[in-house]
Amino acid sequence: MTVSQEILNEAYPIIKRLAASRSANGAFAYYENSDIGQEVWRMCLEALERYNPDIGPIENYLVRHVTNRLKNLKRDNYFRPGSDVPSSGLAKTRMNLVNALPLGGGDIAEQGVLLGSTPINIDPVNYLLCDETLTYIRERIPEHLSDAFEDLIGNNRIRRPIVEEIRQKVVEILAEREDNVRRQE
């Protein structure tokens, strides 16, 4: 279905205003303000295909549509640490990825830096260093702790003694890595 030029001309200033107002403070998870503005434009253009002038003014229709769709977008793509997260491992993994949560237990509010909730981009160098460190640990962690380590990274429940054993082993692996780097310098 196509949208008439008359409706597009009427909707353009409304969509422009909506995109500007919703993107001003709309950043969450890995969506930045500019992403929210683009999403509002996409949502409105899709909604115009279904608009019926008999149901009311176009502005009311678009405001209500965008409000509902943004709530759904946020619900489907963001979890706040510390809240009741669904118990599935996939949901917890998604939460960790979105919020860049640290490994290990403890209070997320004190330990975690919620990178995805800020408009600041993640430094690619830091990302690569983190990825290399994780690979380094995976290659050296004892086989009997490997599955538990992956579960821990996925934020799944692990018995406390095993978590402590993993922490101790990771400390040893990282100390060994640091010693090797010092010797090479």
pLDDT reported for residue 28: 72
Tell me how far apart the alpha carbons of residues 37 and 19 are, in angstroms, rounded to a whole number. Answer: 5
Alpha carbon distance 153, 155 (integer Å): 5
Q: In angstroms, rounded to a whole number, what is the distance separating the alpha carbons of residues 145 and 136?
A: 15
Residue 106: predicted pLDDT: 43
Ordered by start, the domain boundaries in the chain are 5-77, 89-184
Give the pLDDT confidence score for residue 29 in this predicted structure: 66
In order along its 185 residues, the chain shows pLDDT tens digits of 688 899 999 999 999 999 999 888 777 766 788 888 899 999 999 999 999 889 899 999 999 999 999 888 887 766 555 555 555 566 566 555 555 554 444 444 444 444 444 444 556 666 677 778 888 899 999 999 999 888 888 778 888 889 889 989 988 998 888 888 788 87
Among left, alpha and beta (phi > 0; psi -120 to 50; other), residue 51 is beta
CB atoms under 10 Å from CB of 30, counted, come to 17
Q: State residue 139's pLDDT score.
A: 92
Query: d(Cα 43, Cα 57) in Å, to the nearest integer?
Result: 17
Question: b or e along 32-71 (b: 16 or more beta carbons within 10 Å of the residue's beta carbon)?
Answer: beeebbebbbebbeebbeebeeeeeebeebbbebbeebbe
Q: Chain-wide mean pLDDT for the chain?
A: 78
pTM above 0.75, yes or no: no
The pLDDT assigned to 116 comes to 42
Q: What are phi and psi of 7, to 5 degrees?
A: -65, -40
